[in-house]
Structure 1
């Protein structure tokens, strides 16, 4: 599978789970409302996951770059 196909499959699975959660977790929510709410929630959840990965990668990169050298490197 290509990266695009994996992303599409993940988004579809996330959408299906969101529809089921919204439909059966809150009382009185119909299928139409659940489908529309999941349509809003799915891109938001995907964006939040992307943002978390991006911030983690940037934190790792900033952790590698230090203004002052590590104490072990100063002794050399």
Structure 2
């Protein structure tokens, strides 16, 4: 699967899950409202996932470039 196909599959899965959760939650939204709200929540969820992965990558890079060892490693 290519990168874009995987991205589209994630987006479709998040959209479908959002619709089902919004429709059958305790608030009981109608189908039309659930479909529209899922259109808003899907890009937001994808953006938050991308942001988290970028932050994780930068944290790992910062950990590799750290010039002083962690306190636990100094005691060894």
Same topology, TM > 0.5: yes
CA contact (8 A) 2:14 2:42 kept: yes
1:41 maps to what in 2?
Answer: 41
1:65 maps to what in 2?
Answer: 65
Alignment RMSD = 1.7
Cα displacement (A) at 1:35: 0.4
List 4+ stretches of structure 1 deviating above 2 A.
none
Larger Rg: 1
Separation in structure 1 between the aligned mates of residue 14 and residue 33 of structure 2, nearest angstrom? 17
* Structure 1 gaps, min length 5: none
Question: How many residues are matched?
Answer: 71
1:14 maps to what in 2?
Answer: 14
Cα displacement (A) at 1:43: 0.4
Separation in structure 1 between the aligned mates of residue 44 and residue 15 of structure 2, nearest angstrom? 11
Q: TM-score, normalised by structure 1?
A: 0.85
